[in-house]
Amino acid sequence: MTRTIKHKAGVDLVVAPRRYVLDTILATAAQRAGAQVRPGVTVTGLRRDGRGRVVGVLGHDRAGARIELGARFVVGADGLGSRVAGLVGAAVDQAGRAGGAAQYAYYAGIPWSGIEFFVAERSFAGVFPTHHGQACIWVSTPSADAKAVRRGAGSRLEAFDQLLERSAPRLAERLRHARRTSPVQGMLRQPNQVRQAFGPGWALVGDAGYYRDAITAYGISDAFRDAEEEETAALVRYQRQRDQALREVFEITCRLSAYPPVLAFVELQKQLGGAIDKEAAALAARPVPGERRLATA
């Protein structure tokens, strides 16, 4: 079946950018907005005042020179293994089943017509076209299946090929005429968890605060949504809005990552589409961060 993306809430396309492209765009936009961008800095600790409030970070640059930066607020946007989350002891408020694996590699050399999904028993695979004529080819399975195949394979690539052949044989056949342009990457066991979002002088956004199985492929969208809060005085509202926004998709993700029979899996995917539509409409109704609103009489 083929579906065209409908124009809803100002969105008429779906994209899967390479991270090195997206990260460059974000860093450039931050600089233009007045931020000082310091690449190559590794954060190793946090500064606190006499009351225990976080007031900055400690770290070092590429040359190993010590760096100490003060801040009114420290925002941890440092991924699933967030150092900020660990240093502040951010609690996991909600944890779902952690039983899914996701693996991927990039390919070039053949045409890609759009985003593709392949559903089979205990697997979900697909194609995300991206930059420079390449596509991200991915396969999601239960962790037990991925680990079993990995143990019996001679390499990570061989295991990936076996899983893809089992999950989407037509796609695997097409890839025999393509050129792999990256190593195989991924995780054999993905958590589904929601962390405490903020505390005195700190906040977490993106995967640092909330991670779910990649089977729903919505992590970067989550991160953009979380980053929209402008004043950290509104952090209580931020956590409430974040938890409300993620609840339905989080629950669907946990059910999908249990890999129910194909018909039930497809029905959950339809529910996911509806949940994402509702979230897109809610986000579109918000004011654009940083954009001044003019009163009219």
137-156 pLDDT, tens digit per residue, is 999 999 999 999 999 999 99
At residue 293, the pLDDT reads: 47
Whether the predicted pLDDT of 295 surpasses 70: no
At residue 251, the pLDDT reads: 87
Whether the predicted pLDDT of 173 surpasses 90: yes
Backbone dihedral angles phi then psi of residue 296, each to the nearest 5 degrees: -120, 145
At residue 248, the pLDDT reads: 85
Q: Is the dihedral of CA 68, 74, 77, 83 positive or negative?
A: positive
Whether the predicted pLDDT of 297 surpasses 60: no
Question: H-type helices in the chain, by residue range?
Answer: 19-32, 83-88, 143-152, 156-167, 169-175, 219-226, 235-256, 262-284
When pLDDT is cut at 50, 70 and 90, the band that residue 105 belongs to is very high
- Indicate the angle between helix axes 143-152 and 156-167, nearest 10 degrees: 130
Q: Which residues contact 258 (CB under 8 A, 6 or more apart)?
A: 97, 99
When pLDDT is cut at 50, 70 and 90, the band that residue 111 belongs to is very high
At residue 157, the pLDDT reads: 95
pLDDT higher at 283 or 130: 130
| Largest distance between two CA atoms of the chain | 72
Whether the predicted pLDDT of 234 surpasses 70: no
At residue 230, the pLDDT reads: 53
When pLDDT is cut at 50, 70 and 90, the band that residue 74 belongs to is very high
When pLDDT is cut at 50, 70 and 90, the band that residue 188 belongs to is very high
Average pLDDT for residues 178-205, to the nearest whole number?
92
pLDDT higher at 289 or 122: 122
At residue 179, the pLDDT reads: 96
At residue 292, the pLDDT reads: 52
At residue 127, the pLDDT reads: 96
pLDDT per residue as tens digits for the range 18-54:
989 999 999 999 999 999 999 899 999 999 999 999 9
> Among all chains, which residue has been given the structure tokens 């925002």?
75
Q: Which of the residue ranges 5-14, 59-68, 139-148, 192-201 would you say has the lowest mean pLDDT?
A: 5-14
The pTM for the full model equals 0.79
Average pLDDT for residues 258-264, to the nearest whole number?
91
At residue 236, the pLDDT reads: 65
pLDDT higher at 292 or 85: 85
Provide the mean pLDDT of the chain: 87
Residue ranges of E strands in 71-169: 74-76, 92-108, 116-120, 123-129, 135-142
Whether the predicted pLDDT of 233 surpasses 70: no
Separation CA 168–CA 159 (nearest Å): 14
Domains of the chain, CATH where assigned? 19-94+191-284 (3.50.50.60), 96-189 (3.30.9.100)
Whether the predicted pLDDT of 16 surpasses 90: no
When pLDDT is cut at 50, 70 and 90, the band that residue 263 belongs to is very high
